[in-house]
Chain A
Amino acid sequence: TQLLEQSPQFLSIQEGENLTVYCNSSSVFSSLQWYRQEPGEGPVLLVTVVTGGEVKKLKRLTFQFGDARKDSSLHITAAQPGDTGLYLCAGDNQGGKLIFGQGTELSVKP
């Protein structure tokens, strides 16, 4: 069974701090996606990384795919209250299904 271990599960920080969320697996994925979910809504896709070692930036968010395509990280610079939410990583196993991590609940306090 493929698993994606996401850490930390909870993160509470002050506005302006930096943070990193990790997503690790022993399995290789053809691509990895990051989603963000706000209360009362469904997850929304932020980014897809495909190539080992790939780095993508989305404003203050930086996403990296590990060289072996088994892990990924999300780094947020100078977090803002609007970044508050649940962040989910998901690996594509090319079997038509996504394997989701447990999620990281981020709270950014003003």
Chain B
Amino acid sequence: DADVTQTPRNRITKTGKRIMLECSQTKGHDRMYWYRQDPGLGLRLIYYSFDVKDINKGEISDGYSVSRQAQAKFSLSLESAIPNQTALYFCATSDVTGGPGSYNEQFFGPGTRLTVL
């Protein structure tokens, strides 16, 4: 079974609709991240969470919101989808203890391809 799962894998929706993308992990990691990927732009950070009570905005948070329901679950919402939010969305986790040999190595889900018409 995959350690980081995302649902749905593909979604087509219309402008103005509310969309929720879900991420679940079985790795036991505290840190979770949401990225979007567009061709030629790499991965850009939308939101991140260091634990259940901690939510932080990334570089492109406008138009998005998140909810950390449990250590294992982190959801991304588009309150009113618009066409330029068409992209690949990835969830990732990491386990940074802060001790020696602790690096922010991230484990990614398979992605959600979102199309907004």
- Chain A residues within CB distance 8 Å of chain B: 6, 9, 30-31, 33, 40-45, 48, 50, 88, 90, 92, 96-98, 100-103
Given the interface pairs A43-B108, A97-B48, the reply to whether A33 lies near B42 with Cβ below 8 Å is: no
Chain B 4-37, CB-CB to A under 8 Å as 1, else 0, gives: 1000000000000000000000000001010100
Count of inter-chain pairs, beta carbons less than 8 A? 61
**A residues within 8 A CB of B33?**
97
Docked complex Cα distance between A103 and B40 (Å): 7
- Chain B residues within CB distance 8 Å of chain A: 4, 31, 33, 35, 40-45, 48, 50, 56, 58, 90, 92, 96, 103-111
Partner of A92, one of B35, B48, B103, B110: B103
**A residues within 8 A CB of B56?**
96
Shortest Cβ distance from residue B64 to the other chain A in the assembled complex, whole angstroms: 16
Most buried by A among B4, B41, B103, B109: B103
Docked complex Cα distance between A41 and B108 (Å): 9
16 cross-chain CB contacts under 8 A? A33-B105, A40-B110, A40-B111, A42-B90, A42-B111, A43-B43, A43-B106, A45-B105, A90-B43, A92-B104, A97-B33, A97-B48, A97-B104, A100-B44, A102-B40, A102-B42
Question: A45-B107, A100-B42 given. 18 additional CB < 8 A pairs?
Answer: A6-B42, A9-B40, A41-B110, A42-B4, A42-B92, A42-B108, A42-B111, A43-B43, A43-B90, A43-B106, A44-B108, A50-B103, A90-B106, A96-B104, A97-B33, A97-B45, A101-B42, A102-B42
